Structure 1
Amino acid sequence: MIFQVKWRVDEVSMRDSTHVRPCSQGDFDAVVVLGDRFKKYLGLYPHKAIREAITNGFVFGAFLGDKLTGYALFALPYSDIRLVHLCVDPAFYAQGIARALIDAIQATYSDRQGIRLKCRRDFPAHKVWPKLGFQAESLPSGRGADRAEMTAWRKPFGPADLFASMLEDETRVQAVLDTNVVLDVLLERNDKTAKFLHSPSIYDEVALCITRSVKNELSELSPMAARRRVLSRLAQFDELPSEGGTCRALKNELLKSVPVKELRNDSSLEADAGVLAETIVSGAAVLITNDDTAGRVLRKIANSYGVEILHPSQLVVMIDELKGQRKDASGRLQNTGVTVTSSSAGIDREMDHLISTYRGESKAKFRDHLRGSMAANMRIIHAAESNLVDGLVATASVGNELQVSLLRVRRAPIAPTLLKQLLFQLRLEALENGAARILITDPAPGGGENIVPILRQEGARLKNGRWRIEVVDAQLRLNEFLSGRVGSWDLRDWLQNEPQSPMQFATLERELWPLKIKEAPLSNYVIPIRQTFASELLGYDSPLLTRDRDLGISRRHIYYKSAPYKPAAPGRILWYVSGKRGGSIVAASQLISSHNGVPQDLHARFRKYGVWSQQDIADCADKKGRAVAIRFGDTEIFRSEVSLTWADRVAQEYGNILGTVPTARVITDAAFQVIYDKGMNS
């Protein structure tokens, strides 16, 4: 595997490039010579151990032709990557060599959780790690006689178990604290700040969070005693993940909206804009600061991205309004007006912003690949908020595979959500073409977005250097599913551990959608839905692309019913629409979560999903004024409607009664499978 990184020096033409590859034994002497020049910082490392690391593929080198310009030596303990050496020839400083080496390690071992290292605070490299995307974790002491203070750094590759977090109840508003607010709390500089943030009335409603730049700024705090005290107490806050490149680009975009006079008068606004960018990208709903200037200058900008900037004292007052405004995947696409069009000839020079620069892809290589994909079914995605192309997809059916030669999005806050939606649309395309799987042949998928954690979240697995998604259009018995090989599908990579809990089965049905596992321990329901909402939320009885675009592109929606009965999640839903002749069951969805509350609270929390007004929710509430919000996703419209009369007979055979379905009715897994089969295969 070779990673190309464009660079410039005076004596080299623009056609030359630095490439990164695993070192061979033929590179041993060059690695040793370069490393020995920096023994003061790298310490002594046995040459025998270097040879062994090269043999194991744990030394990556950056080369200009045959010349070694830098190297990285690492190990693979447990689930992380431990960086032992990162060394760059001074003649090649500021050419992106260090970043290229780190990116190559991450791309090769993307299944690991991150890269970690320790570095003395008085070494020149101490200031480099944040620029490479690392965040300070702790402040250990060195092993030498001087017990020098060190910083333990870590570069996470993405949040663990993203799908699990997607299915969790979203019960708390994420509030990012800026550096001064954190210091007020941890160093007890301002008792009022701590009291506001720890008020019992919001204790279960708010998750207090910090970002990478805040944590890194705190690691530079003086004196040392305060620095150690602060970092040792940071565990009480949640750390929000955010892609560094996206945050840097967004920060620059935000700063363009700040008047030059304001930046000149208050230089700290640049750091404040950086924290705001991280807040937006991470999906948090609010940034807490006691800096009046930051609030005044940045509030309007933040609001345009759906983020509030509040003083600590305002959080208690605003909590009801903030409920439900945490920006999850479906909310990110609100008001974007996403459009999809076919590509045209001569577009290659309009797409350079979709280059996968983080993987070292060159402009020439990208254009060659783009031109080579012109024969495929290529589509361009635009968002109303941008004049640039926001995404690009090219597909072709080859045998029983849907091969994706291009899957790119531009670097933007909307990029992760857009990628998720594109991956779901690829599943639908695979189903239409009768493909058993999706194979991503794009050599550098993602474009401006690190696609690896998103692919894993969406159920993809890496095999032979390519990402694949099995599209299992079948109902499988449990023992058949657990065998791992069924028909054209190879499920073994998804069955490393046998599923036990309902959540594990729900995860598998989502990752291998539209798979349905018979005898899975999931709750099953028939739920009535009004005709109007069936059209808007399910796409039933109306063309999908003529619906509200925010609803059409989202994978998750919300529906309401009267309390008190609340369906248990995770589970499955069969949707019943009433009619003149008794009505029919028209679709199936995955039940993600359910929530009991008063209409005002439910509307505030879930209004990002659209369709329902507060009055609509009040109209379906019970006599006590309470309703149940049902969050669902991954809906399949039945090919043939199933009459209620027929479905009721099936339910009764397995011990349940549907009747006229006045409210949610529980049915057995066996009844669900029979009704689903009739709807999809009749």
Structure 2
Amino acid sequence: MGCSGGQLLKVIIINEDSAYLGDIIKLGNENSSTLGFLPRGAYLSYAARGQIIVVLGNDNSVIGYLLYNIKNRGMIVSISHLCVKQSHRRCGVGLSLVNELKKRTKDLYRGIRIHCRRDWEASKVWPKYGFTAKHEIPGRSRAGSTLTVWWFDHGHPDLFQLADEQRLKSKVKVVIDANVFFDLQDNIKATNKESLSLLADWLQEDIELCLTQEIYNEINRNPDCAERKRSRMFAESFVKVTSADDESQKVQQAMKRFFPSQLDEHDESDLRQLAIAIAANVQFFVTRDEHLLDRADEIYKCLNVQLMRPSDIVIQQDSLLRESEYQAYRLAGSFIESARVRSKQNTLLQNYFRAPQEETKGEFRDRLQYCLANPQSFQTEIVRGENTPIALISYNRQDKRILEIPLLRIAQGTLGPTLSRYLLLRAIANASKESRILTKVSDNYLSDGVIDALRENGFFCYNGTWIKANPHLIEQATEIARTLCTYGEHFPELKKYFHTISNLIHLAVSKKSTQVLLRVEKSIWSTKILDLDIPAFIVPIRPIWAMNLFDSKIARQDLFGSKPSLVFNVENVYYRSRRPEVIKAPARILWYVSKGEGGYQGIQSVKACSYIDEVIIDKPKSLFARFRRLGVYEWRDVFEVANNDLDREIMAFRFSNTELFDSPISLSDLRHIWIEESGRKFHLQTPRTISTRTFYRLYKLGNGII
């Protein structure tokens, strides 16, 4: 059956329970030679998020679908599949799908992106859909294809475009084992379809498939000379990760308990390639080895590497990006302290923090000495982990409008990204509390990891320095936009920057776009937009969890303190029972620290506020696996929330940008305000919804604002 002039196209969005899902998967599999193979679990995941658009024909059969993904960091929509039945092509089905996607995303996102091979006929259609060819990247096909990156811009003034484009250049490194490598080399068949899903074009911009040099030993075992040559040529197209031999040898010794006592040559190769990956600080290792996958949790706890199936990479792509940037778990077991630098430490710090390729010893010494010689204006701190320097940071407070950071050095190691984000977030929070308008990082020798963290936190590079606005405003959106424009007059060189934020606020207000307004608020945190229409909650939390999640003052009262793994968290997760099911995302949250046990001081008060970014209800094992990267709870803690029932659904919500109050709100003040605002006595055992008015009254009180 072909298309006809009288055909009426019905466009719908499906969920994971849709009766059409089987037909969609079948259509995708029939076209996997061009789309790439996608496992069933990935379809279910997209459907559950409402990210599959379907076109039905006159007989209510599926004639096309569009599968897309949201990259929240860049506010970008990425098309993964656009598929139309052969019999209905050139009938407007594809255009209907793309137009529906445009309509659904135009107010909230920057634009839509699709990767398409240059040599495919389908690449000719994107200009007709309004897309432009932005650039090219190498594809992962064995033929050495080139991918054109097509872009449709929604036309919003974009504060974040430069930072996002630069940030998206950094990929997550994923090492694949020999079996997966050989799967990718072979033509499609039943045994390698799962691995071939890794070749999907839409994965290539975010994920870099890597090998270790051990792959050449595996190739060498093939008795066929022609096959060896073919495999070596294919291996040359991959990035190789390397590590110091002594480091990989140490890891091999630690790994042996996860392998059989008697190893054949293939086992030995498997052990070596995994050890090299771990020693090279790669966080993800892809394998189909069921023996290793069965012990993935143990290996993760011991060696901080995630073993995953190929299909897991496809399904969990977005969370992998977050996980690669944020590894708080790796701090477990370490002792962290921060203290002011003394002048006699100059030589020691030079050994750890001088940029060896570019900065002379004299330059580093002079830079540090200048900061130390002006203690009235400069505060210079060293951060240690297990008595080893891991970070050096200096704050310059000479200009009352700006918190400048002339020194920001992070020692090499796996904690670099996490530590960088923590120090920057702390600097922004301090600048905001001190009523400074800007935070500026002026160090000329920043590492790549620090630069990535700057971009992630919304900094912009201007004339060699990194700038971010962080005014502490609590006003209506239009008033904040007006104030930002006045900042542009105070800082003429940044006038365009402030006006762009202001214009974005006006656009969000005119479009009534809560998501865009929330994104702007977070970008100039800790500003609060009074007319941002998101829910607010007050949540009780026991002191033991407050100590571990955000409250350093309680932690100092405890013999053991908070978990070292949480010292640098910039986001976290809180588990609780599913009922009452009132918590939603996005939202604001006030934390009420209850009495609990232990006789802590400063309890029974509202001590902090955060953003709720995500709420998930699921069984305990699934939630623990999802949020383990944050390093907050052990499995036994999550299991206890579920009353030791593996099948009981519980709630987890991810929160970020926590502000500790300078003036915690006492129980007596809270009772008084509660009666005034609600006419009821204060009694809080479970999360409660509060009005926007109540939230801001408490927020201002906690910040000492009358």
Do both share a fold (TM > 0.5)? yes
Aligned positions of 1:79-158 closer than 5 A = 137-138=138-139
**Unpaired stretches in structure 2, ≥5 consecutive residues:** 1-75, 77-135, 150-161, 220-225, 254-263, 314-319, 597-602
Matches of 2:476 and 2:676, distance apart in 1: 19
Deviation at 1:415, TM superposition (A): 0.8
Deviation at 1:526, TM superposition (A): 1.6
Matches of 2:461 and 2:539, distance apart in 1: 38
| CA spacing shift, 1:395–1:577, aligned 2, 3 Å | closer
Contact 2:589–2:612, Cα closer than 8 Å, also in 1: yes
Query: What does the per-residue CA deviation read over 1:206-242, in whole Å, with 9 as the maximum and x for residues that have no partner?
Result: 9999535449999xx9999989x989xx9xxxx9xx9
Contact 1:575–1:586, Cα closer than 8 Å, also in 2: yes
Matched positions, count: 490
Deviation at 1:630, TM superposition (A): 1.8
1:549 paired residue among 535, 545, 564: 564
Query: What does the per-residue CA deviation read over 1:525-569, in whole Å, with 9 as the maximum and x for residues that have no partner?
Result: 122222432343231762569433332332222222221415222
Deviation at 1:637, TM superposition (A): 2.5
Deviation at 1:628, TM superposition (A): 0.8
Aligned positions of 1:470-481 closer than 5 A = 470-481=469-480
Aligned residue identity for 1:177: I
Q: TM-score, normalised by structure 1?
A: 0.58
> 1:257 maps to what in 2?
250
> 2:699 maps to what in 1?
676
Matches of 2:271 and 2:631, distance apart in 1: 35
1:533 paired residue among 542, 545, 559: 545
Matches of 1:608 and 1:647, distance apart in 2: 38
> 1:348 maps to what in 2?
346
Query: What does the per-residue CA deviation read over 1:239-267, in whole Å, with 9 as the maximum and x for residues that have no partner?
Result: 9xx9x9xx65x55663453789x99x989
The reply to whether residue 644 of structure 1 matches residue 642 of structure 2 is no
> 2:690 maps to what in 1?
667
Deviation at 1:606, TM superposition (A): 3.4
Query: What does the per-residue CA deviation read over 1:426-449, in whole Å, with 9 as the maximum and x for residues that have no partner?
Result: 2344356443322222222x3x44
| CA spacing shift, 1:372–1:226, aligned 2, 3 Å | same
Contact 1:176–1:210, Cα closer than 8 Å, also in 2: no
| CA spacing shift, 1:256–1:577, aligned 2, 3 Å | closer
Aligned residue identity for 1:452: I
Matches of 2:551 and 2:630, distance apart in 1: 15
Contact 1:461–1:468, Cα closer than 8 Å, also in 2: yes
Deviation at 1:161, TM superposition (A): 8.9
The reply to whether residue 211 of structure 1 matches residue 234 of structure 2 is no
> 2:590 maps to what in 1?
574
The reply to whether residue 497 of structure 1 matches residue 499 of structure 2 is no
2:606 paired residue among 562, 580, 585: 585
Aligned residue identity for 1:660: H
Matches of 1:137 and 1:409, distance apart in 2: 32
Query: What does the per-residue CA deviation read over 1:640-665, in whole Å, with 9 as the maximum and x for residues that have no partner?
Result: 40533344346549xxx896334322
> 1:602 maps to what in 2?
623
1:561 paired residue among 571, 576, 582: 576
| CA spacing shift, 1:339–1:540, aligned 2, 3 Å | closer
Matches of 1:411 and 1:153, distance apart in 2: 35
Deviation at 1:584, TM superposition (A): 4.1
> Which shifted more, 624-633 or 206-215?
206-215
Contact 1:193–1:313, Cα closer than 8 Å, also in 2: no
Deviation at 1:509, TM superposition (A): 3.1
> 2:464 maps to what in 1?
465
> 1:94 maps to what in 2?
none
> 1:452 maps to what in 2?
451
| CA spacing shift, 1:537–1:637, aligned 2, 3 Å | same
> Which shifted more, 501-510 or 563-572?
501-510
| CA spacing shift, 1:185–1:647, aligned 2, 3 Å | farther
The reply to whether residue 523 of structure 1 matches residue 544 of structure 2 is no
Aligned positions of 1:425-440 closer than 5 A = 425-431=426-432, 433-440=434-441
Contact 2:329–2:631, Cα closer than 8 Å, also in 1: no
| CA spacing shift, 1:658–1:457, aligned 2, 3 Å | farther
Deviation at 1:481, TM superposition (A): 1.8
Give the secondary structure class of the aligned counterpart of 2:702: helix
Deviation at 1:523, TM superposition (A): 2.4
Query: What does the per-residue CA deviation read over 1:468-515, in whole Å, with 9 as the maximum and x for residues that have no partner?
Result: 232322212100122323677974454563463444334333332221
> 2:424 maps to what in 1?
423
Matches of 2:228 and 2:670, distance apart in 1: 71
Give the secondary structure class of the aligned counterpart of 1:419: helix
Deviation at 1:159, TM superposition (A): 7.1
| CA spacing shift, 1:139–1:300, aligned 2, 3 Å | closer
Give the secondary structure class of the aligned counterpart of 1:671: helix
Matches of 1:603 and 1:268, distance apart in 2: 28
Matches of 2:532 and 2:227, distance apart in 1: 57
Deviation at 1:602, TM superposition (A): 2.9
Deviation at 1:185, TM superposition (A): 4.5
Deviation at 1:407, TM superposition (A): 0.4
| CA spacing shift, 1:198–1:528, aligned 2, 3 Å | same
Deviation at 1:454, TM superposition (A): 1.3
Matches of 1:614 and 1:299, distance apart in 2: 11
Give the secondary structure class of the aligned counterpart of 1:257: helix
Matches of 2:609 and 2:685, distance apart in 1: 18
| CA spacing shift, 1:253–1:420, aligned 2, 3 Å | farther
Deviation at 1:620, TM superposition (A): 4.7
Aligned residue identity for 2:454: L
> 2:372 maps to what in 1?
374
| CA spacing shift, 1:465–1:496, aligned 2, 3 Å | farther
Aligned positions of 1:34-73 closer than 5 A = none
Matches of 2:278 and 2:637, distance apart in 1: 35
> 1:510 maps to what in 2?
522
> 1:391 maps to what in 2?
391
| CA spacing shift, 1:357–1:300, aligned 2, 3 Å | farther
| CA spacing shift, 1:276–1:602, aligned 2, 3 Å | same
> 1:632 maps to what in 2?
655
Aligned residue identity for 1:510: K
Give the secondary structure class of the aligned counterpart of 1:521: coil
Matches of 2:582 and 2:329, distance apart in 1: 24
Give the secondary structure class of the aligned counterpart of 1:390: strand
Aligned residue identity for 2:338: V
Deviation at 1:455, TM superposition (A): 0.4
Matches of 2:665 and 2:635, distance apart in 1: 31
Contact 1:502–1:570, Cα closer than 8 Å, also in 2: no
Contact 1:403–1:438, Cα closer than 8 Å, also in 2: yes
| CA spacing shift, 1:603–1:299, aligned 2, 3 Å | closer
| CA spacing shift, 1:595–1:175, aligned 2, 3 Å | farther
| CA spacing shift, 1:418–1:309, aligned 2, 3 Å | same
> Which shifted more, 392-401 or 477-486?
477-486
Aligned residue identity for 1:576: Y
Deviation at 1:680, TM superposition (A): 1.4
